[in-house]
Amino acid sequence: MNFLFWIHFLAFLFSFFVIGAVLGAAFSKPVRKKLKELLSLAKSAYNPILKPGTHPWTAEAVMNPAAIVLRGRTHLLYRAIGMDGVSRLGYASSPDGIVFDKRLPYPAYVARNPRHLASHLRRYSPVMYPSGGSWGGCEDPRMVAIDGRVYVTFNMFDGWDFIRVAALSIPEDDFLAERFSAWEGPYILSKPREVHKNWVLFPEKIGGRFAILHSIAPKIEIAYRASIEAIGRDVEFVDSWEGARNDLPERENAWDSFIRSPGPPPIRTPNGWLLFYHAFNKADRQAAIGYRIGAMLLDFADPTKVLHRCVAPIISPEEHYENYGNKFGVVYACGAVVRDGTLFVYYGGADKVVCVATAPLRAFLDALVSGSQPALAEVIPAQAA
């Protein structure tokens, strides 16, 4: 009896595995395709939406734009690199966030030369200055509007031994009227004789104070100040984590083994603060990929607490305009906005051009919270509909 039972049992197992193999062969391809589609990103067919211009101050690159929505238009402050190797801030705006029908022929802001570097040392060089090829100026702006003023944080760069974080501010009315002579600052936020980059402001005060997100690795750190203008003058510089990011231990078995910096300022959502960030892993480095972009949700009550993190990058350098420019394999985001329920992420491609990717915000958040992979979907401009 036991012998017959085991014969039937083994026959059942054999049939089960045979049927499973047949079904697996039938469905593995569609399943793999579906997973690939889930992880792929649809970027705008209009990319790149801004390219280097004909003016000398925009001739080498336009990239890494800050973004904000005011009075129904999307406004960008982008980093422009000129033939002289200086990074300046240019201005463009759009009625739909995709097609930018206004772009000023002159800079919106030009940084000072803090060390008065000798003219013979000033030149455009992607080899000497791999971060876009610029030897100095104002790099990689982030922008928010708080209490009727527009605030911009940026990297004040004057050679690799002089990188500090600075801030500007301007009344909203002056910003919208393009009265850029009304900028106040720059105010230096980071300590002297230390190298810091890529700090962002939360888009609203927290506990009545400005919240400065200045590090996300090895942990998320936020400084709170009553006044941006008083930093380094009436109150101490922001005390940020000091050290080489390359010396940090890697996150094992993750696409973001090495986390570098926040991207755009956090966005308030029903699920928490949505924060984009830049990261890579060892395989990326071997493939000469510089950065991918990820997303996480931070807790409202304690923004240093990560609630959810994407399981794969949401933007990777796959298109020709993200790989052929000043630097291969780089996507770098400094601006993100929400318009009519749609998330727009603005980023630089290959340290050369400005691009955009979009997604329905609700679907994006649901995927992020559920542990699925959020995907970006293309938005078609109204003019082309």
Domain count within the chain:
1
CB atoms within 10 A of CB 230: 12
Report the chain's mean pLDDT, rounded to a whole number: 85
For residue 27, the model assigns a pLDDT of 31
107 in any annotated domain: yes
- At 121, the pLDDT band (50, 70, 90 cuts) reads low
Q: Is the pLDDT confidence value at 15 over 90?
A: no
164 in any annotated domain: yes
Within the chain, residue ranges assigned H as helices are 2-39, 172-176, 282-286, 361-370
279 in any annotated domain: yes
Q: What average pLDDT does this structure show over 255-262?
A: 92
12 in any annotated domain: no
Q: For position 161, which CATH number holds?
A: 2.115.10.20
41 in any annotated domain: no
153 in any annotated domain: yes
What pLDDT digit, counting tens, does each position of 64-89 carry? 999 999 999 999 999 999 988 889 99
What pLDDT digit, counting tens, does each position of 163-182 carry? 899 999 999 999 999 999 99
Q: What average pLDDT does this structure show over 303-319?
A: 94
- At 252, the pLDDT band (50, 70, 90 cuts) reads confident
88 in any annotated domain: yes
Contacts of residue 347, Cβ cutoff 8 Å, sequence gap at least 6: 64, 263, 293, 315, 331, 332, 333, 334, 335, 354, 355, 356, 357
Q: Find the domain containing 181 and state its range.
A: 47-114+122-375
178 in any annotated domain: yes
Looking at residue 183, the DSSP 8-state letter turns out to be -
Strand order in the sheet with 210-215: 200-201, 210-215, 221-225
Is there a contact between 257 and 330 (Cβ–Cβ < 8 Å)? no
Q: What average pLDDT does this structure show over 214-229?
A: 94
